[in-house]
Structure 1
């Protein structure tokens, strides 16, 4: 493939947050190539991954690992260099800081008076939202769901009343369990799974969480995954209010009495509320 010409010039000193492809290397932008070529230093999540990207485009650069375990001293050295030369920040793929390292570096650079700017490009969350067919006028990106069942459920419950499409990153081995958890809470919501975005085997599948869980149980997925959940509809409101009411009642009474109080106030079946009260008390 013949590569496009890269703008020539020495970038001004500062910290440049540069998005890189999430799979298809053809998604690199001309500005990103120019910045990678002109940088005095590239701070990256994994030098091996970024090294492969640079080799593909014939770019030689000095690399500095900057992951979640980077020391304050490492960030200080990077910021000091950005005072007098162009420093680029990249992640392994996509837009840096979106569930990737870099937040502390950017915050400290801004506090130090260093120029900070962003070179936009690929982002898996945005690509998935664009193709999933779920409401996109309002959305909430919430990173990765917790690994533990209890923490996962608590996270989902905490987002239950958000009137927007929820967007998560997920790993292939955990996808089915997450879908089962979503199905228990919101059996009727529309859910979408987008994976291998921009790659040869790109897929975006939608349906209920239960139907998707059954599909991926029979066809174990591979690759990077974006999990999207449609916003709540009016039919969910009573169940959501009941949980809040049960929690309040459980603070003052046992499960049986709490279920009776909420049943009287809402008209919801007492036996179902008692079962739910036991679940809430056990969390």
Structure 2
């Protein structure tokens, strides 16, 4: 049997009794980083054969694990939290399903869900997005595709990119309500809640993994942009000024509005 086991995300005691018993019972443990995992295993007196299983060797080691699983029980763990969720494991799970090999999940700690509770934002419906692209242009494109999403959004971010991510968020989402959590379950756990501008203006300690929870987009009223444009031009406003104001007010492309303004003039 193959077991995908959750591990603590910070506090080493945040591990279930079932996970400890599973790790003690298996023959092999596949770890994202054996050095990190040894701290946890030593804490609970678990001595097993360890193999390294991370994003750079995931495809190759998945094949190895499948072969080993024919005669061994194996646990899959990541450095922190649930395997597969922004961590290695998805490649293996797909192969296990294809080859009809049995596996199960031993659930536990998760930073995204913990941050959602800490945020106080709507938890009835939400989207866990995980990490955005590292490159600024690609990240902005992703955020652009999410800005009208009607549910709470959950992002992971590294400490050295968190400020630039928040600046992009402000630029594309506007000054929306957010929550920024870091070092969840650790000694220096911290959560900041407020509008994006407010959080950016505060001191952000660039240490530890961050979870950013973003309020859902407000429902937009149905508006006739062409009618609004016509009214402003007919009231004496310059076409360029009307296009500029409406583009900002309704978050619409200036090029698109300029084409509309030509149609309005031709009427």
TM-score (norm 2): 0.83
Q: What is the Cα deviation at residue 140 of structure 1? A: 0.6
Contact 1:263/1:270 (8 A) holds in 2: no
Measured in 2, the distance between the counterparts of 1:61 and 1:110 equals 26
Deviations 1:148-175, CA, capped at 9 Å, x for gaps:
2211111111112211110000111111
Residue of structure 2 equivalent to 1:80: 67
Q: What is the Cα deviation at residue 236 of structure 1? A: 8.6
Residue of structure 1 equivalent to 2:38: 51
Alignment counterpart, residue 116 of structure 1, candidates 81, 94, 103: 103
- CA gap of 1:72–1:188, structure 2 versus 1, over 3 A, is closer
Contact 2:37/2:79 (8 A) holds in 1: yes
Measured in 1, the distance between the counterparts of 2:68 and 2:221 equals 53
Alignment of 1:224 onto 2:209: yes
Q: What is the Cα deviation at residue 276 of structure 1? A: 5.0
Alignment of 1:271 onto 2:240: no
3-state SS, counterpart of residue 192 of structure 2: strand
- CA gap of 1:114–1:211, structure 2 versus 1, over 3 A, is same
Alignment counterpart, residue 10 of structure 2, candidates 7, 23, 28: 23
Measured in 2, the distance between the counterparts of 1:181 and 1:236 equals 25
Contact 2:156/2:210 (8 A) holds in 1: yes
Q: What is the Cα deviation at residue 124 of structure 1? A: 0.3
3-state SS, counterpart of residue 173 of structure 1: coil
Alignment counterpart, residue 97 of structure 1, candidates 75, 84, 95: 84
How many aligned positions are there? Answer: 243
Residue of structure 2 equivalent to 1:211: 198
Deviations 1:188-238, CA, capped at 9 Å, x for gaps:
32110011101111111111111111113xx43311110111001135987
3-state SS, counterpart of residue 27 of structure 1: coil
TM-score (norm 1): 0.79
Measured in 2, the distance between the counterparts of 1:30 and 1:196 equals 23
Gap regions ≥5 residues in structure 1? 1-13, 243-260, 279-283
- CA gap of 1:223–1:65, structure 2 versus 1, over 3 A, is same
Greater mean alpha carbon deviation, residues 76-85 or residues 21-30: 76-85
- CA gap of 1:52–1:264, structure 2 versus 1, over 3 A, is same
3-state SS, counterpart of residue 206 of structure 2: coil
- CA gap of 1:269–1:40, structure 2 versus 1, over 3 A, is farther
Contact 1:20/1:28 (8 A) holds in 2: yes
Measured in 1, the distance between the counterparts of 2:86 and 2:220 equals 32
Q: What is the Cα deviation at residue 83 of structure 1? A: 2.5
Q: What is the Cα deviation at residue 74 of structure 1? A: 2.2
Measured in 2, the distance between the counterparts of 1:197 and 1:48 equals 21
- CA gap of 1:46–1:236, structure 2 versus 1, over 3 A, is farther
3-state SS, counterpart of residue 172 of structure 1: coil
Contact 1:192/1:206 (8 A) holds in 2: yes
3-state SS, counterpart of residue 80 of structure 1: helix
3-state SS, counterpart of residue 43 of structure 1: strand
